[in-house]
Amino acid sequence: MTDGSVVFDRAAGYYDQTRDLPADTAAAQTALLLQQLARRIAPVLEIGVGTGRIAIPLADAGLAVFGVDLSAPMLARLAAKRPGFAAARASATRLPLRDNSVGAVIACHVLHLIPDWRQVIDEVLRVLQPGGLLLVTRGRRDGSAGELQRRLRAAAGAEHARAAGLDNLGDLDELMAGLGAPVTMLPPVPNSASRTAAEFLDLIGDGIFSWTWPLPEERRRQAVAEVREWFTETRGDPAQVRLRASPIQWRRYQLP
């Protein structure tokens, strides 16, 4: 199953605590996805299902959902949260599914982690039925947290580091348009999540996010110290400044 992807084994113990959305935002996102998936008769596949943050609410709403993920610890968390949930440890570059067997595929914050993302799309096209949907979101890097992250990357000497896989969803838009499935931007989901700048800096210092994992700990913590000092001088006490989350933007591609 080794495909060079970023695997989230180390994040399994804290993933839900650091990635969960506020209840109102999660409910709005689930409602948006259900609106797109309501008429899908065939099962829905989520690649990079992780601990089920997206898939479990959809299954609770009555959809037949199946997930794949490379991380056994993440899948163990999923099984503990929802015993009996249909999931398999597998690479998205080699899906353990028959041709034309699913009605929709969900890819949430995952394609940038897979070097051979075009092979993933080939597999998605293989397993999707005619007229099937691909729903994708990358995660936004704008807003105040995005500015902090850019400064942290620069301070750590990682400003030119690229994602392991698909960094720009515009490349996916172009690919899918050539296949007769142009992108439709779904209504953005307002995101009420927020944390203080100090909390965000602490998470970076602790190496919580995957982009920090290749950085030596000393360099990572030094970068956090530098940016914390800059923030304090220019914005005030990081513990008193809250960072606004960006809206969640989903893309829809519908096959002919």
Of 35-39, 48-52, 168-172, 228-232, least confident by mean pLDDT is 35-39
Q: With DSSP H G I counted as helix, E B as strand and the rest as coil, what are the percentages for the chain, rounded to 5? A: 45, 15, 40
pLDDT at 3: 80
Residue matched to tokens 């999923």: 78
> Can you give the pLDDT at residue 42?
86
Q: For the residues of 74-141, what is the DSSP string, one character each? A: HHHHHHHHSTT--EEE--TTS-SS-TT-EEEEEEES-GGG-TTHHHHHHHHHHHEEEEEEEEEE----
Average pLDDT for the chain: 94
Cβ atoms 12, 74 nearer than 8 A: yes
- DSSP-derived letter for residue 179 is T
pLDDT in tens, 190-211: 999 889 999 999 999 999 999 9
130 burial (CB, 10 Å; 0-12 / 13-18 / 19+) is exposed
Nearest to 53 by CA among 98, 89, 17: 17
The answer to whether residue 59 scores a pLDDT higher than 90 is: yes
Tokens standing for residue 236: 């005030």
DSSP assignment of 1-15 equals: ---S----GGGTTTH
Question: Residue 17: CB partners within 8 Å, gap ≥ 6?
Answer: none
Q: Report residue 168 as tokens.
A: 């720009």
Q: Which of the four pLDDT bands, split at 50, 70 and 90, describes residue 17? A: very high
Q: Please, is 144 exposed, middle or buried when counting C-beta atoms within 10 Å of its C-beta (0-12, 13-18, 19+)?
A: middle
* Prediction pTM value: 0.95
Q: Is 102 exposed, middle or buried (0-12, 13-18, 19+ CB in 10 A)?
A: buried
Question: Going from the N-terminus, what domains does the chain have, and what CATH number goes with each?
Answer: 9-141+162-192+246-254 (3.40.50.150)
Q: What is the pLDDT of residue 2?
A: 64
**Higher-pLDDT residue of 167, 55:** 55
pLDDT tens digits, one per residue of 228-247: 999 999 999 999 999 988 89
pLDDT in tens, 102-123: 999 999 999 999 999 999 999 9
Which has more pLDDT, 40 or 137? 137
Cα–Cα distance, 181 to 86 (Å, whole number) = 28
pLDDT, residue 222, reads 97
47-67: average pLDDT: 96
Say whether pLDDT at 37 is over 70: yes
Amino acid letter at 134?
Answer: L
Residue 178 sits at the vertex; the CA angle it makes with 140 and 108, to the nearest 5 degrees, is 30
Between CA 80 and CA 11 the distance in angstroms is 16
